[in-house]
Structure 1
Amino acid sequence: MAVSYMDFTSPTVQFTYDLRNNNTFTKDNRNYINTLSINQLNTLGNVSLLDIFLSTGNVVEPHTHQNASELVYCITGSAVVSLINPFTSKLLNYPIQPGQVANIPQGWWHYEIATVDNTHLLAIFDAPIPEFIGASDMLRLTPASVLAHTYCLNEELVEEALAPITNTVVIGPPANCNNNQVQGAATGNVAHTNQSMQSQFVPSQGKKVYLHRDEQPPYPQYHPVIGNGWNYR
């Protein structure tokens, strides 16, 4: 626990809190996140948490917590916690079920995908307020010209592909997404981690996306989607 300067005799001291009173993000009634930080419970030390509810195929978008490590505990359902080890440059996928945990070191790139409905995860942080950098923010705020130049991509296609990302997504796909390829494409890469998931998560059979300059048409059709903004409170 952090050094606390809390006056524990103060009439404002707090020892309990109902997380349902601090909904941080809601996609729909099956996919939402409630948050507990020192802003809600003033006796907390170096700890905070997210109460995460997901249905099948929904993803807590790729992100980092630059100020905290994260321990993900599965309460109900099941999920795959994926992270990139920056020291080995490898993507690691860890399926978790009730009673199991996955740990993400501070600053590591990671995401969580629900593999069944009614998945309930508890994400615990060793910081009083966890900071968040989402992939959606990095993609939408980095100029397409910079991405195209840096990675030798077709700038027009990069701009077209990323144009629908107008806000922080948090839980994807966005609620109004009408791209039929999203569910398979987003989860296909984790199917091999657990035999029971293979029937649910298979690579997309949709059109190939041509982004590199030396690739040729035909190009796929894109559908507009709009994410939802989210800030920790």
Structure 2
Amino acid sequence: MAVSYMDFTSPSTKFTYDLTKNTLFRKNNRNYIYALTSQQLNTLGNVSMLDVFLSKGNIIEPHIHQNASELVYVASGSVIVSIFNPYTLEFKHYPLSAQQAASVPQGWWHYITAREDGTHFLAIFDAPIPQVIYGSDILRFTPPEALARTYCLNQQTVKKAFEPLKDTVVIGPPADCQQPRVQNSPVYRQQVPLHSYPPEQYFQSPS
């Protein structure tokens, strides 16, 4: 939809923008996101975009866009787009390579995992400013007693499990991640390289 109220003769009208001037999130020099919305480019209609760079095994954390549908287009590398279908109650995992795309309907729970180093993809939205609710925010702000009572869980276990979540994750795992791992004994914590768990081992393509 065009921006009908825009005065295209105004000196404040912008037709170009350098996305590197608007970093949405940076985990490190291989995992970061640039953003373009109507706040940066005021001639945009109902469209906005994220420019995403990931290394292998990094994940755009589970989230929803409550006001926009999303088109994921892979420029280089490859990803798995994981989408929960609320009608079939199934998670489907869609592998994409360069020049392939996937759509995520508005409000659907999803996440995106890089399968290769140097992965670069665009996330395009049908809203001038896409809204987002991140899974890490839901988990860290929901009172542990609510989760425990709702799902018949041990409250202290729930509290301890989510205590390390201090910030919105966006690109996971966090840079200082110490993942729990089971080895014929009680769970212990140790550093685990990302490539120890390649996405192909725990994702299955949809039938």
Per the normalisation by structure 1, the TM-score is: 0.79
- Hey, what's the Cα distance between the residues in 2 that align with 1:33 and 1:72? 14
1:87 matched to 2:99: no
1:205-216 equivalent positions in 2, closer than 5 A: none
1:65-214 equivalent positions in 2, closer than 5 A: 65-179=65-179, 180=191, 183=194, 187=199, 188-190=201-203, 192-193=204-205
1:14-53 equivalent positions in 2, closer than 5 A: 14-53=14-53
- One-letter amino acid of the structure 1 residue matched with residue 30 of structure 2: R
- Hey, what's the Cα distance between the residues in 2 that align with 1:181 and 1:148? 29
In structure 2, do the counterparts of structure 1 residues 101 and 134 end up closer, same or farther at CA, with 3 Å as the change threshold? same
Q: Give SS of 1:193's match.
A: coil
Q: CA deviation at 1:153?
A: 1.0
Per the normalisation by structure 2, the TM-score is: 0.89
- Hey, what's the Cα distance between the residues in 2 that align with 1:186 and 1:115? 7
- Asked whether the 8 Å contact 2:3–2:43 carries over to 1, the reply is no
Q: CA deviation at 1:141?
A: 0.3
Gaps of at least 5 residues in structure 2 are 180-190
Q: Give SS of 1:159's match.
A: helix
Structure 1 moving runs of 4+ over 3 Å: 180-188
Question: Which region of structure 1 is more displaced relative to structure 2, 131-140 or 177-186?
Answer: 177-186
Gaps of at least 5 residues in structure 1 are 195-233
- Asked whether the 8 Å contact 2:3–2:44 carries over to 1, the reply is no
Paired residues, number = 193
Q: Give SS of 1:122's match.
A: strand
1:8 matched to 2:11: no
- One-letter amino acid of the structure 2 residue matched with residue 139 of structure 1: L
Q: CA deviation at 1:118?
A: 0.3
- Identity, % of aligned positions: 57
In structure 2, do the counterparts of structure 1 residues 64 and 182 end up closer, same or farther at CA, with 3 Å as the change threshold? farther
Q: CA deviation at 1:182?
A: 8.1
- Hey, what's the Cα distance between the residues in 1 that align with 2:131 and 2:198? 24
Q: Give SS of 2:53's match.
A: strand
- Asked whether the 8 Å contact 2:74–2:98 carries over to 1, the reply is yes
